[in-house]
Structures are given as structure tokens and as C-alpha cells.
Amino acid sequence: MKEVVIKNISIGDELLIGQVVNTNAAWLGEHLSDAGFHLDSALTIGDSEQSILDALNACMDADLVLVTGGLGPTADDITKPTVCKFFDTELAFCQEAYDNIVALFNRRGFQMSERNRGQAMLPKACQYIPNTYGTASCMWLEKQGTVFAFMPGVPFEMKGIFIEELLPRIKQRFQALPYEKRVVMTTGIGESFLADKIKDWEEALPDYLSLAYLPQYGMVRLRLSGRHEDAYMLHATLDEQVGKLSLLIPEYIFAMQDQTIERTVFDLLMERGKTFASAESCTGGNIAHVVTLIPGSSEVFKGTAVTYATPMKTKVLGVPAATIEQYGVVSQQVVEGMAKGVRDLMEADFGVATTGVAGPGGGSEENPVGTVWIGVASARGVVSKRFNFGKDRENVINRATVTAYEMLRQQILISQAS
Amino acid sequence: MKEVVIKNISIGDELLIGQVVNTNAAWLGEHLSDAGFHLDSALTIGDSEQSILDALNACMDADLVLVTGGLGPTADDITKPTVCKFFDTELAFCQEAYDNIVALFNRRGFQMSERNRGQAMLPKACQYIPNTYGTASCMWLEKQGTVFAFMPGVPFEMKGIFIEELLPRIKQRFQALPYEKRVVMTTGIGESFLADKIKDWEEALPDYLSLAYLPQYGMVRLRLSGRHEDAYMLHATLDEQVGKLSLLIPEYIFAMQDQTIERTVFDLLMERGKTFASAESCTGGNIAHVVTLIPGSSEVFKGTAVTYATPMKTKVLGVPAATIEQYGVVSQQVVEGMAKGVRDLMEADFGVATTGVAGPGGGSEENPVGTVWIGVASARGVVSKRFNFGKDRENVINRATVTAYEMLRQQILISQAS
């Protein structure tokens, strides 16, 4: 089977002067891989007619070209007239696109401007592809056997359109080699130690499978993927290899699929009909933030008290002022008091708490920057542990959040067993 | 003065399957801009000889090509032999490169492997450029007037080499125009309405200045930049134009430099010695999360109550159950009660509150998905407003967060005036 050649063009001066990092290319690469396709190259160019024409011409050897960006309502967007030049067509009013823009403005309760009306002008030769996320239209055109799909560059619009509208069309038009991947989520072990532990298994993998280590804030995602004409054999081999892997490192695995640890905890609590709440000092609301990104999280999440100011730990959570005075804010006694306090306050089954020094200031000899106490309270009592998550503030916050969820997960599992 | 044409090629399969986001291109673009150069395009390709040869050939129209990646010690790196093919040369032992690798291993106290020794083999025709950050050598080669500089892809190595070694060589070889940019941050107005409001000003800009609209979750960053041989005039013109702009749309500008709205609020509160706290329902702790990413935020931020479960709005924040019963959770009465409640609870100067429907579930005819009430309480009383932020959950949360900070900013400014 011939490989489908897919190229990506990202249009935008902001990408070339470093104002915005192009994350669309990587996202498209990942989602094309998941569908069994392969992104051949990704080119970023500026908002100029000549650059766009050169780039489109340079992609005529591809089967499919995914173009992102350059479709906003403002004057710096010159993509559509250039597209008309390249495809030898002209702009025409598209009723379907217009209706979509009107509907969007109605939903948001805004007045439409002349400029937005202009966004319904599309190249005559194009097939219009609906965008329910914004006013920029998505377009599908062909030239000498090469398909060009144009999408807006705003990531959440591009992602929505690609998944809902474009990918089904691409799958219908092009045939992909069967592809499959498995993701195993680990936490509590660094990348190089993990690599040492699974070295023999990795070296014995069949050559059509490949393993990637994707480290991320206190976690390592292991992705095992492969493409093979025999889809059944591919599937069975992945089952077998993932099974072997899970027996090698059971204590570090929190999920056998690509999901965050807060999602894993959410699922566990949903299954059991249990709830949790958090009391956050150094994590500053991030434990709440990540779980509330999950639709339906109100079923398992009662609420949070971010007690950044020390007296609030007493007033809101009921940690005795004397305890804080005696042991300090960053201490086992305080984190346990916070965990128990928020569990009571929010009437939840589990209470999780953090207190620590996110930095860059505030460190001491006893509690250097990066020190974090994490506690989890349940009907069984309270457990707590001290960590050091390094010097970078954002990293400390994120690693503490992941670790708090891992400790919560352990307590949920134990509480079921008891 | 003729524009120097600079292109970037990033080599690496990991960039095309979405395993790693290419941040090098944006970083190079930014640093080239700051040095008065302009990045013309950025191409990402995989680790294959043919892709590399095609990309190098496609860049022969440039003056300078910056190539990153493909120089690591592992077996999948085929860049150097391909470079030899392209430049019609062969690999030879480079003593200087070897000494550099030995010194690096000695510093780190590691044993050198045969693989690392191989990294001292470089194309005969190249000029060796030292890398004190890692074992991969940096190379400078020329072909028919086009300069090619090869750097490793690991970001911290690439950045160090570029700043210390390459940029001085580039400045010596090519002449750049003086460059300057200004960023103005706006909120509360969509891109197209903003464009209409400043249309006349934009059209009257001198042609060596360009304006970019960079929308992002409820904000639009306006970037005015230009290059001109007369650096003094460029500076003065930017001053003048930014001044004019700020008089055109004062009500939408929250900062005259490139910074987030939470940073702006943080600075205002620091100046005034005031504090705030948040009561969050639909934003789920995100208002707290973004401000606590700022080092020193404990000076102005007292804490947060995320009251995801409805009864907690009564128990923690003191919103009367009868009010919730009568008006519903997503209502003016409830958001105002939450804002006042958290201001009292956390003993803060300002209380900011959100309640809404982030979706995808939970919408009703009266309060469709995306409906958010935001309230701000201060010594002057409480203000509140209703919004609709669309249907994407993450987008709703982020836009509500930005808008809450903007309403808080307005109240801080008013409270000073009174």
C-alpha cells in the first residue's frame, strides 16, 4: 500500500517572530498518527502572498495539504485572495457560511460587523466545511489530484473542526495502513530509571512496534505503537506486550490508557459513588482546576479551599493556630489538619491537602524551595508524605498536583479493599 | 538595504508525530527579530536522508539556513552523512570537537562511549563551532553563497550555542535593520470590532510599521512592530503611534506591555497594598491557579473557595439557601452573595465570584451552556454582569477567568479614584 503523503502549512507572522509557538503542527501530527496516517513535513510561513503561493506550489507533490491560519477577520489576513489566485477562482458569497456566522453571533448575543459578513465570501471552487467554533470558514479544494484543506489557526477551533469535520472526510478519501497504539501512564519514577527497568522487554519488541517515553510533570507516558497490514496480529501483539509491561512495573502504573491522573481518580470515584474536596496552599487551586476541566466533575468534586493566607487555615479549615505556631505552616501536622478540615467542611468522602514552598522565595534550611507536604483524609484516618519537587515554581505546582492525585488514588483503592 | 533571507529547518520524527512541540522555531524567530533580522520560514521534517536533502535543496534561495536537530548520539541520526553528501565532502576526525566532548564528560564525571567519540567526526568542509552545552558539534558550511549552520535540537543546547556562538558570527556576516516592537493588551472587545474601531489609525500607519492582532481567550494582543535604518525615528514613531492608539480605545486596554491580566491586577494590588480572594463555581479554581503562578502572589491573594457543590455556597460562603432556591445557582443574586461572602470569609479588600454553566451538560433555556455571572465585591458594594462565553468548556473557563480579572481591575481603579 502506497503511503499517503500529507504536509502541513501554518500561516502567520506571529509564528515566525516567536510571539506564538506553533502547537498546531504537533497536534495534527499526533492525530494523523492515531488515524494511521503520517505527517511528512510541517512548514511555517508569514502572511504574505508570495510566501503562501510558494508554499502551496511546493506542496503539489503531496496527496493532502492541511493549511492552518490566516483566516481571521482582520486586514492582515490575505489568505483567501491568494487561495483564489492559486486555484484560479474568485470569491463568492456562501449562504451556508453566512448562516453559520449569523448563528454564532446570535448565540453569543453580539452584533455582526461588516468584516464578519466578509468572512462568508469564499473561493467559488471550494467545498465549504462548517466551523461551529468561530467565524472563519474551513475550505476543501483540489488541484491536480492534491487535496488542500484550509482551517483557522486558533487551536481550539482548528482541533474541533479537524476531529468533527475533516478527519472523517480524510478517512473517506485516503486509505491508511492499520495503526494501533497503547498508552501506559506511570508516575513516581523518572524516565531513565524506568528505561533501565524495562530495557530487556523494550529490546525484545518486534521491529514494527516502537516505544516512546513522554515525560511530563511527575509522570511518564509510555506509548507503544505500530503499523502493520495485518491489523489482527498487530492488535494481539500489542495486547501481549502491554500485558508483559504491566507485570514488570505494576507499582508505577496508574492507567492502562492515555488519560490524566485526575481523570483516573474521577472514574474511580464515579464507580464508587464517592466524593472529594481539596485544601490547597502551595498548589493554589490547581487540584481543583484540573478536575473541573472534566465535564461532569461536579458529581465527584465538592469544592476547594485555597488558603493562601495562613490565618485562613485556621478560620476556614479549623487547623488550630497553636499547631501552625508550633510546627510551622509547611508541616505534617498542618497538612493533616487541612485534609481533615476540608473533608469535614465540604462533607466529602476524601479530603486532599497541600502545603509547601513553591518558590522562588520563601525557602528555609528546614524547608527549602520545592518542599511540599501532601495529605489525604478519609474515613480510615489521614496519611501524609513529604516531597521535594525542585526549584521551578510551575513545575513544583504541577508535580505536587499529580502526586496529590496519586496519593488520593491509593487511598480510594485501599478504602474499597477494607 | 537588501533583506537577508533566513530559513529554519528542524529535523526530527518526534516533531511530526506530535511527541514534542517544536519550540525552537519560535525561539529563533524571536531572537532573530530582536537582532533586526527576519525569519522567512520554518520547515519541520523527519529523520530521513531524502527529506533532509530535499529540504536543504529547497533552501538554496536563502542567504542563511539555520538547521536544528538530528545531531544526537543515537543510531537514528543520519544528518551528518547526509550533510556530507549535500556538500560533496566526507567525515573526518576533528580534534577540537573531540577535546570539547572529553572536557564535557570530565566535568560531568561520566565515562565516554564509542558513540560519543563518533560525534567528533565532522564534515571536512565545515567550520567547527564549539558547543559547551552538550556533545553534539555545531557546524557552519557554505554552498553557492548560502550559509548553513547546523545546531543540536535540544532546546537549552541550541539556545546557548545560538546566543554565544552563532549570533555574533551572523551579525558579522550579514547586516540587519534596527527593529523595535510594542505590545498593547486589550480585553472586552472581539478582534473584528477592535479592527473596525482602529481602522483609520491602522491604515495611516507608515509602511515600515506592521500591526498584528493576536486573539487569545477573551483578549486581543496588538503588536506594532517595524524595522528601519533610522533607529531613533523608529523609536519615536512607535511612541507616537502607540500613544494615538491608547487614546482611541482606552476602555479596552489593560496593559501597555506584553503581560497577562492577572499580572496587571497583581501589580495594581501590590502598588496599593490591597488584597483579593475568589469564590469560584464554574471557573473551578482557575482564577486562583493563574494568580498563584506569579511568584510573590501571596502578598495580594488571600485564598479561594471553590464551591462546586451547591450547599457549599451556603455553608462556606453564607449565600442564603432561600436565595439559591428562588433565583437558581446561576443568577445575579447568587454571584453577588458569593463575592460578598468570600470577601468577608477571607478578610480581603476585594472578592470576585463566578457562577455559570461551563458545559457540555447543565444548560437550560434560561441559562444555556456558556452563561456565566461574574461579581466583584469591594468596600463600595458589589457589581455583577452576565456573559455568554460559547460552548467549549475550556474556553468558557478561560474567558470567564480573564473577564473576572478585568472586572476586578475596573473596581480596583474605581476604588482608588473614590
Query: What is residue A174's three-state secondary structure?
Result: coil
Total beta-carbon pairs less than 8 A apart between chain A and chain B: 283
Looking at the complex, does the CB of residue B97 fall below 8 Å from at least one CB of chain A? Answer: no
Q: What is the pLDDT of residue B75?
A: 43
Tens digit of each residue's pLDDT (9 = 90 or more) over A362-379: 899 999 999 999 999 999
Inter-chain touch A39–B16, beta carbons under 8 Å: yes
Give the pLDDT band of residue A76 (cuts 50, 70, 90): low
Residue B90 has pLDDT above 60, yes or no: yes
Residue A44 in contact with partner chain B when CB distance is under 8 A: yes
Residue A418 has pLDDT above 60, yes or no: no
The H or E element containing residue B243 is helix B231-248
User: Are A227 and A185 within 8 A, CB to CB?
Assistant: no
- Alpha carbons within 13 angstroms on the beta-carbon side of residue A364 total 8
Residues 101-160 of A with CB under 8 A from B: 107-110, 113-116, 132-133, 135, 154, 156, 160
Least confident range of A118-132, B75-89, B255-269, B368-382? B75-89
Is A19 in Cβ contact with B214 (below 8 Å)?
yes
Q: What is the pLDDT of residues A225-236, one digit of tens each?
A: 888 889 999 999
Contact criterion met (CB < 8 Å) for B303 and A298: no
| Of B67, B56, B93, B82, nearest in space to B11 by CA | B67
Distance CA B318, CA B302 (A): 18
Of all residues in chain B, the percent with pLDDT exceeding 70 is 97
Q: From CA A88, how far away is CA A75, in angstroms rounded?
A: 22
Contact A76 B45 (CB under 8 A): no
Sheet holding A381-388, edge to edge: A381-388, A371-378, A350-356, A276-280, A301-307, B301-306, B276-280, B350-356, B371-378, B381-388
Instruction: Name the phi and psi angles at A55, rounded to 5.
Output: -65, -45
A295-346 tens-digit pLDDT: 999 999 999 999 999 999 999 999 999 999 999 999 999 999 999 999 999 9
pLDDT of residue B77: 63
- pLDDT score for A356: 96
Q: At what angle do helices B261-272 and B393-417 cross, to 10 degrees?
A: 30
Gap between the Cα atoms of B225 and B246, Å rounded: 16
Beta carbons of B244 and B189 less than 8 angstroms apart: no
Which residues on chain B are in Cβ contact (under 8 Å) with A107? 368, 370, 388, 390-391
Interface test mutation site (partner A, options B4, B9, B16, max chain A beta carbons within 10 A): B16
Is residue B114 scored above 80 in pLDDT? no
Topology of domain A261-417 in CATH is Maf protein (3.90.950)
The pLDDT, as a whole number, for residue A77 is 66
Q: Tell me the C-alpha distance between A95 and A115, whole Å.
A: 16
Res. A140 pLDDT band, cuts 50 70 90 = very high
Contacts of B298 in chain A (CB under 8 A): 308-309
- Residue B174 φ/ψ, nearest 5 degrees: -120, 150
pLDDT at residue A139, rounded to an integer: 94
Residues 6+ apart with CB under 8 A from B248: B197, B198, B201
Cβ atoms B305, A342 nearer than 8 A:
no
Residue B113 has pLDDT above 80, yes or no: no
Instruction: Mark out the alpha helices in A131-190 (DSSP H runs).
Output: 155-161, 167-173
CA distance B378 to chain A (A): 19
Interface of B with A in 154-213 (CB under 8 A): 181, 190-193, 195-196, 199, 202, 210-213
Task: State the smallest CA–CA distance between residue B346 and chain A in angstroms.
Answer: 7
How far apart are the CA of A72 and the nearest CA of chain B, in angstroms?
8
Residue to mutate among B304, B329, B365, with most A CBs inside 10 A, is B304
B 367-406 residues with CB < 8 A to A? 368, 370, 388, 390-395, 397
Tell me if B289 and A291 make a contact (CB, 8 A cut-off).
no
Contact status of B245 with chain A (Cβ, < 8 Å): no
Candidates B308, B349, B367: best to mutate against A (most CBs of A within 10 A) is: B308
Cα–Cα separations (whole angstroms), residue B316 to A302, A392, B118, B298: 12, 33, 65, 21
Chain B residue with minimum CA distance to A136 = B192
Cell of residue A219, nine digits: 509522570
Nearest chain A residue to B365 by CA: give it. A107
Give the cell for residue A87: 486555484
Q: Which residue of B has its CA nearest to A282?
A: B292
Conformation bin of residue A99: beta by default, left when phi > 0, alpha when psi is -120 to 50: alpha
- Measured CA to CA, the distance from residue B289 to residue A293 in angstroms comes to 13
CATH 3.40.980.10 fits A6-173, yes or no: yes
Q: Taking CB atoms and an 8 Å cutoff, what residues of chain A touch B283?
A: 292
Q: Is the pLDDT of residue A247 over 50?
A: yes
B30, A46: Cβ pair inside 8 Å?
Answer: no
The stretch A42-48 carries a mean pLDDT of: 94
**Range list for CATH 3.40.980.10 in chain A:** 6-173
Residues of chain A in contact with residue B304, where contact means CB-CB under 8 angstroms, are 285, 304-306, 308
The CA distance from A194 to A213, in Å, is 9
Neighbours of A193 (CB within 10 A): 10
Taking residues B346-359, what's their average pLDDT? Answer: 96
**B109-130 mean pLDDT:** 83
Q: Answer yes or no: are the C-beta atoms of A201 and A220 closer than 8 Å.
A: no
Amino acid residing at A414: I
Write out the three cell numbers for B353.
Answer: 465570584
Query: Mapping DSSP to helix (H, G, I), strand (E, B) and coil, where does residue A30 land?
Result: helix
DSSP assignment string, B113-130: -HHHHHTTEEETTPEEE-
Alpha helix segments (H runs only) across B67-182? 79-87, 95-108, 114-118, 155-161, 167-173
- Say yes or no for a CB contact (<8 Å) between A156 and B392: yes
Q: Å from B127 to nearest chain A CA? A: 27
Mean pLDDT of B8-19: 88
Q: Which helix (H) or strand (E) holds B263?
A: helix B261-272
Q: Bigger pLDDT: B33 or B324?
A: B324
Q: Which residues belong to CATH 3.30.70.2860 in chain B?
A: 179-255
Contact B4, B175 (CB under 8 A): yes
Across A202-211, A240-249, B245-254, least confident range: A202-211
Average pLDDT, stretch A76-91?
A: 89
**Chain B residues near residue A110 by CB distance under 8 angstroms:** 190
Q: DSSP class of residue B252?
A: G
In the predicted model, what is the mean pLDDT of residues A159-168? 95
Residues 6+ apart with CB under 8 A from B239: none
CA-angle at B174, arms to B168 and B180, nearest 5°: 80
Q: Which three three-digit cell numbers place residue B120?
A: 567528533
Q: Provide the shortest C-alpha distance from residue A200 to chain B (in Å).
A: 18
d(CA B297, CA B283): 19
CATH code linked to domain B179-255: 3.30.70.2860
Q: Which residues of B touch A286 (CB under 8 A)?
A: 285, 289, 292
Asked if residues A11 and A86 have their Cβ atoms less than 8 Å apart, the reply is no
For range A381-395, the mean pLDDT: 92
| Band of residue B104 on the pLDDT scale cut at 50, 70, 90 | confident
Cα–Cα dist B171/B175, whole Å: 6
Q: What is the pLDDT of residue B17?
A: 86
If contacts are CB pairs under 8 Å, which of residues 53-82 in chain B contact chain A?
Answer: 55, 58
Extract the C-alpha cell encoding A68. Answer: 492552518
Chain A contacts of B315, Cβ < 8 Å? 345
Most A CBs within 10 Å: which of B17, B74, B396, as the mutation test of the A interface? B17
**Confidence at residue A191, expressed as pLDDT on a 0 to 100 scale:** 78
CA distance A172 to A169: 5
State the number of CA atoms in the 13 A half-sphere of A292 facing the CB.
30
Interface of B with A in 310-369 (CB under 8 A): 311-312, 315-316, 345-347, 358-361, 368
Contacts of B292 in chain A (CB under 8 A): 283-286, 306, 308, 358, 397
What's the average model confidence in pLDDT over B244-269?
Answer: 96
Give ranges for CATH 3.90.950.20 in chain A. Answer: 261-417
Q: Which residues from chain B sit within 8 angstroms of residue A394, using beta carbons?
A: 293
| Furthest-apart CA atoms within chain B: distance in Å | 83
**DSSP character for B4?**
P
Per-residue model confidence (pLDDT) at position B416: 65
Q: Which residues of B touch A39 (CB under 8 A)?
A: 16-17
Q: How confident is the model at residue B74 (pLDDT cuts 50, 70, 90)?
A: low
pLDDT value, residue B145: 94
Say yes or no for a CB contact (<8 Å) between B25 and A28: no
| Residues on chain A touching B26 (C-beta within 8 angstroms) | 15, 18-22
| Residue-wise burial string across A382-412, b where 16 or more C-beta atoms lie within 10 A, e elsewhere | bbbeebebeeebebbbbbbbbbbbbbbbebb
Q: What is the overall mean pLDDT for chain B?
A: 92
pLDDT tens figures, B188-221: 998 889 999 999 999 999 999 988 888 888 899 9
Of B38, B193, B213, the CB nearest to A76: B213
Q: B39: which chain A residues are within 8 Å (Cβ-Cβ)? A: 16-17
Residue B207 burial (CB count, 10 A): 6
Judge whether A276 and A350 are in contact, CB under 8 Å: yes
User: What's the pLDDT band for B260 if we cut at 50, 70, 90?
Assistant: very high
Question: By CB neighbour count within 10 A (0-12 exposed, 13-18 middle, 19+ buried), where does A117 fall?
Answer: middle
Cell numbers linked to A26 = 504537533
Q: What is the pLDDT of residues A170-185, one digit of tens each?
A: 999 998 888 898 999 9
Q: By mean pLDDT, which of A16-20, B56-60, B145-149, B324-328 is the weakest? A: A16-20
* DSSP character at residue A38: -
Mean pLDDT across B299-314: 95
Q: Which residue of B has its CA nearest to A45?
A: B41
Span A289-293, average pLDDT: 96
User: Which chain B positions have a beta carbon within 8 Å of A213's beta carbon?
Assistant: none
- pTM for the structure as a whole: 0.81
Distance from the Cα of residue A150 to its chain's centroid: 23
**Alpha carbon distances (Å) from A224 to A37, A258, A311, B13:** 16, 11, 49, 15
Only one residue has cell 492541511, namely A66
